[in-house]
Amino acid sequence: MDIQILLAQVEATDAFGELAPPMQIAILLGALSFATAALVSLTAFTRIIIVLSFVRRALSTTEIPPNQVMLGLSFFLTLFVMAPTLEAINTRGVQPYLAAQQQSEGTAPEFGVTELVTVSTEEIRRFMTVHTRGNDLQLFVDLANLPETTVVDETPLKVLIPAFIISELKTAFIMGFCIYIPFLLIDLVISTILMSLGMMMMPPVIVSTPCKLLLFVLVDGWQLISKALVSSFVI
- Domain that residue 60 falls in: 21-231
Residue 12: C-alpha distances to residues 22, 62, 69, 163, 205 (Å) = 22, 52, 43, 34, 64
pLDDT band for 18, please (50, 70, 90 cuts).
low
pLDDT(217) > 80: yes
- State how far the Cα of 89 lies from the Cα of 34, in Å rounded to an integer: 18
DSSP state, residue 153: G
What is the per-residue pLDDT for 173? 92
In a domain, 1, yes or no: no
Indicate the SS3 state at residue 141.
helix
- State how far the Cα of 151 lies from the Cα of 145, in Å rounded to an integer: 14
In a domain, 59, yes or no: yes
In a domain, 109, yes or no: yes
Residue 99: C-alpha distances to residues 63, 96, 196 (Å) = 48, 5, 74
Max Cα-Cα span within the chain: 85
In a domain, 135, yes or no: yes
Number of folded domains that form the chain: 1
In a domain, 204, yes or no: yes
In a domain, 180, yes or no: yes
pLDDT band for 9, please (50, 70, 90 cuts).
very low
What is the per-residue pLDDT for 174? 92
In a domain, 88, yes or no: yes
DSSP state, residue 192: H
pLDDT(151) > 60: no
pLDDT digits (tens, 9 = 90+) for 83-133: 888 888 888 877 777 777 677 655 555 666 677 777 788 888 888 888 888
pLDDT(212) > 50: yes
In a domain, 155, yes or no: yes
- State how far the Cα of 177 lies from the Cα of 229, in Å rounded to an integer: 14
